[in-house]
Structure 1
C-alpha cells in the first residue's frame, strides 16, 4: 500500500518564537501540534532583532527582514505592511496544502490573495477581533471603518476560522461568517513555564505585577491611580510592569506623577523570568477598559498568573471578569480607582493560600499545549477536505 505524503502546512506570522508574546506562544503551540500529528510545516515570519536568542526547530523556519519601531517591535501599519507585502510573494512561491494566517487583517489579505491565486485553502487564527480593539484607540473613524471592512472580507474568505474562545467566535460571526466555518479551539499558557514550581523573584517590597501588552483599550493606568490610594495604608507597595505597548510612555508619565519610585518598567523579558516575577507577586494585574467593544476578551495574562498560583485582580467587566469570578482565580473589580484599590489592599492584607487549586485549574482548562493540538487538528482537517474534494 502506497504511503500517503504528509500534508504541507505554511504558517504566516509577523511574530514567532523565540520572540516573547501571546501570539508567538500560541503559534508555536500550533506548529508543535502540527508536527506531532505528522504534518510538514514551514513558518514564514520576520528576522529577529539583533542579539535575539538562537532558535533552531526541527521544522522549516523562513525569516525575512522587517521594519520595526524604535522599541524593536513589529507594531504599526507601516511595520505590518513591511511584512505583509513580501509575505504575499513568498507565499506565491511556496507549496502548501493549507496556509494559516495570524492577525493583523492586513496579513490576512496577503494570505487570502495568494491562496486564491494558488487555489488552496487558508485558515484564519482569530485570537481577537482587531476592528473591535480599535474602538478604544484614538484612530480616525475612516481608518476603523476600512479596517472593519478588510477584516470582514478576510474572515468571510477564510475556509475556516479558529477562535480562541466562544466570545471571539460570536464576534467573528457578526461578520456574516457561517457558524459551520468557525471552530473554537481555546487558549491558554505553557503550563511547563507558567506553573507554581520554579524560581521566585526576590524583591525588598511587596509588589503587584503586570505582564504583556500595554494598549489603550486595556487602560492599565487604573492600577497606578489605585496604587496611590493603596500606599496610604501600605506605603511600601509597588507595581512592576513587564512588556510593551502603545500606552507604555503614558503609563510611565502617570507613574512619575502619581507614585514616583513605586512603579517599575522592566521591558520585555523571557517567559521564565516573567513567571518568576508573577510567582513572587501579591497579585497579578489585568484590565480591559469597559465600553470599548472589547469586553468579550479573556487576556492570556489571566491564565499565566493563575498557572503560577498567583491571584488575579481583573479591572473591568464582561467575559474576563466572569472568567476570574466563576473560577475563583482572584478578584474581579469594577473599573474604578476605589474598587481596584480595595482589591489590591485585600491581597496585601491577607496572604493567598489558594495557589495550588488555581494552578490545577489552569492545567486542566487552559493548557496551551492542548489548545495547540486542537487547533492543529482543525488545520489538518481543512487540508484533508480540500485535497479530497
Structure 2
C-alpha cells in the first residue's frame, strides 16, 4: 500500500550539497516504489517556487547564502511546526538535521500520532565539541539530540563512523541503519563538456568552506606555488563561514584564485572535467574525523583525480584505489601534491576508470534504495 511521506529539510535540490543530493535520491527511490512524497523545504536561489511535491517556504539565510545559525534555523523550524500540524494526513516524516528541526518534528509527529525517521548525516553535538563550542552549549545540544533520536522509529546514517557516534549517544543500535553515502552519478559524469576553453590549467574546490572542511589549506598551498605556475588558477565553488576570510587571504597577495559562489551541479561537472584535480578535505580534530567528504566523490564521478587533505575514510580509499593522492592537512604537503598533479598525464582511459569506480561503489541510486527500504520497514512496524 502506498505510503504518504513528508520530508522536512532546510536544504533540497537544486541547492548543491551532500544533504540535498542524498535526499533527492531518497525521494526518487520512494516515488519509484509508488509512495507519495512531499518535501517541506526552503525557498532557495534558483528554486523559489513550490511544486506539488516540493513545498517551499521563505527563510533567513546568512551572508554566504546558507541556512546556518540559530536565527536562520528558527526561521525554518517555527513555520515547519505549523506546516506539519496543518498538513494533510500522512504516515511518516523523514527529517534531516539540525537537531532543532528534529525537535520540531518529534513534537509535531507526537501530536499527529505518527512516527518519524531521522536521517543522521552527522552527530551535531560531536561536531560542535570538535570545533570548540562552549562545553555548556555542547551539553545542551547533546541532550536535545539524544531526546530527539530516542523517539525516532529509525535512524539512518551515512557511514559506520556516524553509526558508532549515534549508538554512543542513544545507547542502542537496533534502530540504526547505515545506508551509506554516494554521489549522483547521473549528473556528475565523465561524459560531457569540459571547461573553460581558455587553455589555462586549474584546480577545483567545490563545497562548503567551514572550520570543519578546512578549505583554507588549499588556498594557502596554492598561494605558495602560484608564482611557479603563472598559467594555473584555483577555482573555489561554494559558500561557508570561512569564505570571506579565504577571499581576503587571496586578495592580500593577488593570488589567481576565483571564488565563484554557489552554482548548479552541471556547471560544477563541466569545471571538474576540465580541471587538473579536484580538492577535498576533512580537517582533523574537529569532530568529523569519521566523515566522508562527498565533494571528493563528486570529483571522482566526473573522472577527475582528487587531492585529499586530512582525515576520514576516503583518505585511505583514494590512496589504495589510485584515485589521486592523499596527504596530511598541512599546506606544504598539499602544495607538493599540487606540483605533482600538474605533471600528471591527462589520460582519458584513467579518467574513465575513476568515473566507473564511483558508479560501481558510491552511486546515490543505491543509497536512495537502501534508505527507501528502511523507511518502508519503519512504517510497517
TM-score (norm 1): 0.92
Deviation at 1:142, TM superposition (A): 2.4
1:68 is matched with 61
SS in 1 for 2:234: strand
Question: Which residue does 1:306 correspond to in 2?
Answer: 300
User: For residue 22 of structure 2, what is the aligned residue in structure 1?
Assistant: 26
Deviations 1:312-337 (A, max 9, x none): 11111232312322332211101112
Q: Supply the distance in 2 between the matched residues of 1:352 and 1:181 (Cα, whole angstroms).
A: 46
Q: Which SS does the other structure have where 2:228 is aligned?
A: coil
Q: Which residue of 1 aligns with 2:230?
A: 235
The alpha-carbon deviation at position 227 of structure 1 amounts to 1.2
Aligned twin of 1:360: 356
Partner of residue 189, structure 1: 183
Change (3 A) 1:70 1:340: closer
Q: CA RMSD in A?
A: 1.8
Task: Give the 3-state SS of the residue equivalent to 1:213 in structure 2.
Answer: coil
Match of 2:277? Answer: 283
Corresponding residue of 2:265: 271
Q: Is 1:207 aligned with 2:202?
A: yes
Match of 2:221 among 223, 226, 248: 226
Equivalent residues of 2:192, 2:270 under 8 A apart: yes
Question: Please, which of 39, 44, 55 is the counterpart of residue 40 of structure 2?
Answer: 44
What secondary structure, in the 3-state scheme, does the structure 2 residue paired with 1:179 have? coil
**Could you tell me how far apart the structure 2 residues matched to 1:169 and 1:34 are?**
23
Measure the CA separation in 2 of the matches of 1:65 and 1:220: 29
Q: Distance in 1 between matches of 2:6 and 2:374?
A: 14
**1:148 Cα deviation after fit:** 2.0
Separation in 2 of the partners of 1:18 and 1:290? 30
Gaps of 5+ in 2: none
Task: Give 1:33 deviation, angstroms.
Answer: 0.7
Q: Following the alignment from structure 2 to structure 1, what is the Cα–Cα distance between the partners of residues 358 and 49?
A: 29
1:338 corresponds to: 332
Greater shift in the superposed pair: 239-248 or 83-92: 83-92
> Residue 89 of structure 1 is aligned with which of 82, 86, 101?
82
Between stretches 144-153 and 330-339, larger displacement belongs to 144-153
- Looking at structure 2, the residues matched to 171 and 352 of structure 1 have their Cα atoms a distance apart, in angstroms, of 40
Shift of 1:62: 1.9
Work out whether residues 296 and 320 of structure 1, in 8 Å CA contact, stay in contact via their aligned partners in 2. no
Q: Does 1:172 align with 2:166?
A: yes
The DSSP-based 3-state class of the residue aligned with 1:369 is: helix
State how far apart, in whole Å, the 1-side matches of 2:48 and 2:351 are: 32
The residue aligned with 2:141 is 147
- Residue 114 of structure 1 corresponds to 108
Distance 2:131 2:251 in 1: 23
Alignment check: 8 A CA contact 1:285 1:312 kept: yes
**8 A contact 1:155–1:177 mirrored in 2:** no
Task: Give, in whole Å, the separation in 1 of the partners of 2:241 and 2:136.
Answer: 20
Give the alignment's TM-score, normalised by structure 2.
0.94
**Could you tell me whether the CA contact under 8 Å between 1:230 and 1:237 is conserved in 2?**
no
Note the residue ranges of structure 1 that are not aligned, 5 or more in a row: none
